[in-house]
């Protein structure tokens, strides 16, 4: 039989265990309410959603920011009006610009220098030598010659002009040769391969002159069909004269058949009018016999 003191201790211990259990349950409930969010995820779907509100933005631009100080706090600002679209404030004169876009720049038209020779440096001390540079035309006639007694230059350039300052004839073959005679009288000759230029552009008297071989511009001796190379030539010229838009362009075709030459010159002019929107009244065309040119058939386009 248990004594009274023992029963009292058992009763107190039981109450203590009951109190501890209630206190732990209360802690678990508080933890569940405050930190544990696992019950919000059901079958992979997060039920916790956050809705953010964008605060209203009150922005008032400073209309006087880009105005000079003289206009600020002045009544004149209220009288300023934007120009109407139909009447722009700045109007460029007619024929001063083109609405056509530029084409990728081509590089098929030769410009001076048309020929560059690079010599190898001498292994010994440089000494003066007699050297001659010659260019001959398709008939074997001397077209250009340069003679000098000096240290052989590392680079020799030719601008494409003959002895009488006449330009090279487009569409014809040319050949060149370099002769060197040292102090001992030993000659050395270097001959280059023949070359042919279908185009040539140079400047003279503030004008840009472009020469084209007509059979390279037109297809199969046609007067209106351009060849593939012809379109490239004219496209490059088109982008070149864009910088001179509105200025007079002269198109001359030298041919024995003046009517045929005039038809070709007219079609070249139509190309620029269509491709560049060039003012028709700024293009002058004509056909002349070869005797009034350089003695052969070619196209000449002069841009002032």
Q: Count of alpha carbons within 13 Å of 201, Cβ hemisphere only?
A: 17
Name the token pair of 69.
């100080």
pLDDT digits (tens, 9 = 90+) for 115-160: 998 887 666 557 888 999 999 999 999 999 999 998 888 899 999 9
Q: Which residue has the tokens 């020469």?
A: 211
Within 8 A by CB and 6+ apart from 207, the residues are 302, 303, 304
In the chain, list all ranges with CATH 3.30.1330.60: 199-303
CATH of the domain spanning 199-303: 3.30.1330.60
pLDDT digits (tens, 9 = 90+) for 256-296: 999 999 999 999 999 999 988 899 999 999 999 999 999 99
* Cα–Cα distance, 181 to 189 (Å, whole number): 9
pTM beyond 0.95: the answer is: no
In the chain, list all ranges with CATH 2.60.40: 115-196
Transcribe 9-44 into DSSP letters.
HHHHHHHHHHHHHHHHHHHHHHHHHHT--GGGEETT
* Cα–Cα distance, 253 to 302 (Å, whole number): 11
Classify domain 115-196 by CATH architecture.
Answer: Sandwich (2.60)
DSSP 139: T
Helix (H) or strand (E) run with residue 266 in it: helix 258-276
* Rg for the chain, CA atoms, rounded: 45
Q: Is the pLDDT confidence value at 79 over 70?
A: no
Helix (H) or strand (E) run with residue 180 in it: strand 173-181
* Cα–Cα distance, 235 to 187 (Å, whole number): 47
């Amino acid at each position: 039989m248990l004594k009274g003191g023992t029963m009292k201790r058992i009763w107190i211990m039981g109450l203590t265990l009951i109190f501890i259990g209630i206190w732990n349950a209360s802690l678990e409930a508080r933890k569940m309410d405050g930190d544990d969010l696992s019950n919000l995820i059901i079958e992979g779907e997060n039920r916790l959603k956050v809705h953010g509100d964008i605060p209203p933005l009150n922005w008032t631009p400073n209309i006087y920011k880009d105005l000079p100080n003289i206009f600020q706090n002045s009544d004149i600002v209220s009288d300023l009006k934007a120009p109407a679209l139909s009447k722009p404030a700045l109007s460029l004169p007619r024929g001063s610009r083109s609405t056509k876009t530029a084409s990728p720049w081509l590089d098929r038209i030769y410009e001076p220098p048309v020929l560059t020779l690079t010599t190898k440096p001498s292994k010994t001390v440089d000494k003066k030598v007699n050297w001659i540079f010659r260019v001959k035309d398709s008939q074997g006639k001397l077209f250009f010659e340069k003679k000098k007694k000096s240290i052989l230059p590392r680079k020799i350039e030719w601008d494409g002009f003959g002895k009488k300052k006449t330009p090279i004839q487009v569409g014809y073959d040319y050949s060149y040769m370099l002769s060197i005679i040292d102090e001992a009288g030993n000659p050395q000759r270097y001959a280059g391969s023949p070359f042919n230029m279908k185009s040539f552009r140079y400047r003279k008297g503030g004008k840009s002159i472009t020469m084209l071989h007509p059979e390279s511009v037109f297809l199969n001796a046609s007067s209106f069909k351009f060849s593939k190379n012809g379109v490239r030539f004219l496209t490059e010229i088109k982008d070149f004269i864009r910088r001179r838009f509105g200025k007079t362009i002269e198109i001359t075709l030298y041919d024995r058949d003046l009517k045929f030459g005039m038809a070709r010159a007219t079609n070249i002019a139509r190309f620029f009018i269509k491709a560049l929107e060039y003012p028709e009244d700024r293009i002058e065309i004509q056909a002349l016999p070869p005797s009034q040119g350089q003695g052969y058939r070619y196209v000449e386009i002069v841009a002032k």
